[in-house]
Chain A
Amino acid sequence: MNFTFNEDQLMFRDSVRDFFSNEVTTESIRNRWDSDSGRDRALWTSMAELGLTGLLVPENCGGLGLGVVDFIMLAEECGRVALPEPLVDTVLLATPVLVAAGADAQLLQSIAAGETVCAVQSQADALVADADFADKLIVHKAGNLVLLDAESARFQRQDSVDPSRRLFSVEWADDEGQVLAEGDLSAELTASLYNLGALGTSAQLLGLAQRMLDLSVAYTSERQQFGKPIGSFQAVKHHLANVAIKTEFAKAPVYRAAYSVAEALSDVDLHVSQARLSAGEAAILAAKSGIQVHGAMGYTWEMDLHLFMKRAWALNNAWGTPGAHKARLADTILSADYTIGAGHTFASASDAA
């Protein structure tokens, strides 16, 4: 048993963290709000050069041939900087589904090379994030999973309370788009996509929680009232300690869910929903406590805190609301054929190895 990441994974995470802290500043995010596309294509190219876009693309298609567990901490880093570009969608959602559906090697190569950006439609949400920045969209129609050229589709933009998010309703003619999967395969891949989407969201929520906590610790160490930093007051400390606890306890479910997805374990639905709820609660608490300890400054447009709060509030309802994930958990645990008890809950047959 080893619930840690290896040195390579940690080093890659560190280099991505450095890269993002230099390249995805809050200033650059604010600049995107006013631009037409709201996205940075040059950044996408840089991410491709780092091997990020092709992380899950098989090696024989020019990718790194790595897996979900290798990407999960990087998805967290995307959350930490509130990355506007759809890296998680392209890498964690689109790539595995395209591979499983037997998509063209050329397409996969193009993703790895940073030439093809993907956007993915969740059946849970009608709108598609980043559809107009994407080159290819994975969408649903009449029980089929469809791969669509962005050029063939028509988009209607829908803005978000998070000024960084760009959502679109998508329309296309029936003869446009290539059927990726139909019938049983489509159902299977759609279910898989839901879990990948929820997992990617969980990881980003974890990163967002951490970032808001870091901002709050920094602010309360600087801000002085009553002759000392407000972080020295116990009430303030305890708020942030509570966020730290919740965030820490959200890591294991998220990483565990990544493992379950990677190993295609039978309990994957349960683990993904648990991760989603844990990470969501951590981010929501980090936002709530974060703005509280920032005081009135936290309520301004000028302070960076709202960039992360608004992303957290938006992502907390993406790929299934907390209510939907709680219902899935409840349905699973309370179903007639689900066995619980120490002998079952903590060890499943697929884990035994």
Chain B
Amino acid sequence: MKLSFDTADEQFRTEIAGWLANNLSGEFETIRFRGGPGDEHMFGEERKRWEQQMAQGGWTCVGWPEEYGGRGLSIEQQVIFHEEYARAGGPGRVGHIGEGLAGPTIIEFGTAEQKQKYLPGIRNGTELWCQGYSEPSAGSDLANVKTKAEYDQGRQAWCISGQKVWTSLAHESDWCFVIARTDPQSQRHHGLGFFLVNMHQPGVEVRPITQLTGTSEFNEVFFDQALAEDILGEPGEGWKIGMALLGFERGVSTLGQQMAFQNELDEIIALARRNGAAQEPDIRQRISEAHIGLRLMRYNAMRMLSGPADGSLDSAALVYKLHWASWHRSLGKLAMDVLGSEGELLMEPPYELSRLQSLFLFTRSDTIYGGTNQVQRNIIAERGLGMPKEPRG
């Protein structure tokens, strides 16, 4: 066991920290610490340019194998990369769905041709992706998807029809990966396909959903005989591939998240010191608990990542989401309680929220998206502990 980084890794840290110091400046100064979860509606154009700046420096897709344009970084180096990125206030990455989800899935399940077609756009920051999973009737029960995929002999392509929902940044995306039903007779997780769909076609319509923050990061996406550019794997493998992708979500990208959380906690502590809330016993206790929770999160993540590197859904990974989501939601509440009655006051009409107010409101959804706390606990109990499954209807 070794909990510190060796000299070579520390040199790498210096390298990335230096690059960020030189590049996350000038025109990009305003987007430092911006554009992360809950703030994704901000600085879209600037962050797209930043993504390309990162690509030019060779800092996108660092965990990918070198043959696909990555750096093939070790786990330690990826940890260091994400830490330094967050420490420097690197903005939320517009390419994160491509880099973290679509890309690794295409690498795992795609043909050589598909890899050549899609990976460069992600790696170069020129093509952005969104996720077409949830539907109005398929939230926690994702297997209930109804979006259809029919093979059109005339056009020699699969056609997608249906509706996806909660699609982050669909309005900014070039591609969408879509789980759709290829076998009309099938039920639940059988008979599904994993499709890659171009967003820029007449059969695709994006409608924004307004959140309780007053902003729209999520969308409804309507597919009306939209052409799928590709299917990954075979018809019938959609569930397997779709679930494998979710396994990547619990991987290395979470490391930067903890650093970003540390930034948030630090901001709250600084505020508590300034406004005297840090003298209140209740607040002091909760700050201590937040600090402890964050350390636990980091150690668990490092333990998780030191294990075999794959996209499988093992219980350590499942516990992780439940923990960070609950922790982050508590952090949002702590921020508001530190602010006290000032916490309700808007910066500006019509509905401009401060960063801590956005944090509070956004974190109300942490325990819901990406698998609710209730579903997480069921999975932990059923798959992790082997307990009897909850009866379905």
Spell out A's residues near B (CB within 8 Å).
124-125, 127, 158-163, 165, 167, 224-228, 230, 232-233, 235-236, 291-292, 295-296, 298-302, 306, 309-310, 313-314, 317-318, 321-323, 326
Instruction: Give the complex CA separation of A232 and B343 in angstroms.
Output: 36
Besides A227-B393, A235-B377, A317-B340, 11 other A-B contacts (C-beta < 8 A): A125-B341, A159-B345, A159-B351, A224-B393, A225-B137, A226-B144, A292-B367, A292-B368, A296-B165, A299-B364, A323-B282
Q: Please tell me if B253 contacts chain A, counting CB pairs below 8 Å.
A: no
Which residues of chain A are within 8 angstroms of B378 by Cβ–Cβ distance? 235
Contact of A233 among B137, B364, B365, B390 (CB under 8 A): B390
Q: How far is the CA of A196 from the CA of B140 in the complex (A)?
A: 45
Pick from B166, B351, B374: contact of A235, CB below 8 A: B374
Contact among A124, A291, A292 for B341, CB-based, below 8 A: A124
Tell me, rounded to whole Å, the shortest Cβ–Cβ distance linking B127 to chain A. 27
Asked whether A306 and B340 contact (CB < 8 A) given A158-B345, A158-B346, A159-B345, the answer is no
Instruction: Specify which chain B residues have a CB less than 8 angstroms from the CB of A163 in the assembled complex.
Output: 351
Beyond A299-B211, A299-B365, whether A226 also contacts B282 by CB under 8 A is: no
User: Bound state CA distance, A233 and B212, in angstroms?
Assistant: 26
A296–B341 CB distance below 8 A: no
Taken together as a complex, chains A and B put the C-alpha atoms of A235 and B373 apart, in Å, by: 10
- A236 and B282 contact, Cβ closer than 8 Å, known pairs A159-B345, A227-B393, A301-B214: no
> What 8 A-B pairs come out closest when comparing CB atoms?
A227-B393, A228-B393, A225-B141, A301-B210, A317-B341, A306-B212, A159-B346, A235-B374
Whether A167 and B345, one on each chain, are in contact in the complex, defined by CB atoms closer than 8 angstroms, is yes
Flag if B209 contacts A317 (CB, 8 Å): no
Q: State how many angstroms separate the Cβ of B140 from the closest Cβ of chain A.
A: 5
Q: Are A226 and B212 in contact (CB under 8 A)?
A: no
Separation in Å of the B277 CB from the closest CB of chain A?
8
Provide the bound-state CA to CA distance between A233 and B390, in Å: 8
Query: What residue in chain A is nearest B280 (Cβ atoms)?
Result: A323
User: Which residues does B use to contact A, with CB under 8 Å?
Assistant: 134, 137, 139-141, 144, 165-166, 209-212, 214, 280, 282-283, 336-337, 340-341, 343-346, 348-351, 353, 357, 361, 364-365, 367-369, 372-374, 377-378, 390, 392-393
Residue from B280, B364, B373 having most chain A Cβ neighbours under 10 A = B364
Task: Return the chain A residue nearest B346 by Cβ.
Answer: A159
Min Cβ gap A13→B in Å is 29
Partner of A326, one of B140, B282, B336: B282
With both chains docked as a complex, state the minimum distance between the C-beta of A233 and any C-beta of chain B, in angstroms: 7
Instruction: Give complex CA distance A159, B351 in Å.
Output: 8
> What's the minimum C-beta distance from B26 to chain A, rounded to whole angstroms?
34
Interface pair A302/B393, CB less than 8 Å apart: no
Chain A residues near B134 (CB, 8 Å)? 296
Quick check: A228 and B392 within 8 Å, CB to CB? yes
List residues of chain A with CB within 8 A of the CB of B350.
Answer: 159
Q: How far is the CA of A306 from the CA of B211 in the complex (A)?
A: 10
Instruction: Contact check, A162 vs B344: say whether CB atoms are below 8 A apart.
Output: yes
- In angstroms, Cα B136 to Cα A225, docked, is 10
Among B210, B212, B283, max chain A CB count under 10 A is at B212
| Distance between Cα atoms of A66 and B393 in the complex (Å) | 53
With a cutoff of 8 Å between Cβ atoms, the chain B residues found around residue A228 in the complex are 392-393
Q: Do residues B212 and A300 form an inter-chain contact, with CB atoms below 8 A?
A: yes
Q: How far is the CB of A170 from chain B (nearest CB, A)?
A: 15
> Is the Cβ of A299 less than 8 Å from the Cβ of B210?
no
Q: Considering only CB atoms, which chain B residue lies closest to A223 in the complex?
A: B139
Measured in the bound complex, the distance between the Cα atoms of B361 and A339 in whole Å is 43
Q: How far is A160 from B368 in the complex, measured between Cα atoms in Å? A: 25
Contacts of B212 in A (CB 8 A): 299-301, 306, 309-310
Q: Which of B211, B214, B336, B374 lies at the interface centre, i.e. has the most chain A CB atoms within 10 A of its CB?
A: B374
Complex-state Cα separation, A228 to B390, whole angstroms: 12
Q: Measured between C-beta atoms, what is the minimum distance from A313 to chain B in Å? A: 7
Report the separation of the CA atoms of residues A317 and B345 in the bound assembly, to the nearest whole angstrom. 12
Knowing A159-B345, A160-B344, A165-B344 are in contact, say whether A300-B210 is a contact too (CB < 8 A): yes
Of the candidates A167, A295, A300, which one forms a contact with B139 in the assembled complex, judged by CB atoms under 8 Å apart?
A: A295
Q: Shortest distance in angstroms between A105's beta carbon and chain B's nearest beta carbon?
A: 35
Q: State the CA gap A314–B360 with chains docked (Å).
A: 13
Contact residues in A for B141 (Cβ distance below 8 Å):
225-226
Give the complex CA separation of A255 and B144 in angstroms. 47
Which B residue's beta carbon lies closest to that of A318?
A: B341
Shortest Cβ gap from A137 to chain B (Å):
19
Task: Give A301's nearest chain B residue, CB to CB.
Answer: B210
Residue among B166, B344, B353, B368 with max Cβ neighbours from chain A (10 Å): B344
B390 touches A291 (CB 8 A): no
Known: A228-B392, A296-B166, A299-B211. A160 touches B369 (CB 8 A): no
A220 CA to B365 CA, complexed, in Å: 17
Closest Cβ neighbor of A330 among chain B residues: B281
Contacts of A310 on B, CB cut-off 8 Å? 212
What residues of chain B lie closer than 8 Å to A167, measured between beta carbons?
Answer: 345
- In the complex, what's the smallest C-beta–C-beta distance from A157 to chain B, in angstroms? 8
Q: Do residues A314 and B344 form an inter-chain contact, with CB atoms below 8 A?
A: yes
Assembled-state Cα–Cα distance A242/B369 (Å):
23
Instruction: Please report the C-alpha to C-alpha distance between residue A163 and residue B348 in the assembled complex, in whole angstroms.
Output: 12
Task: Evaluate contact between B392 and A226: CB separation under 8 angstroms.
Answer: yes
Q: Which residues of A contact B137 (CB under 8 A)?
A: 224-225
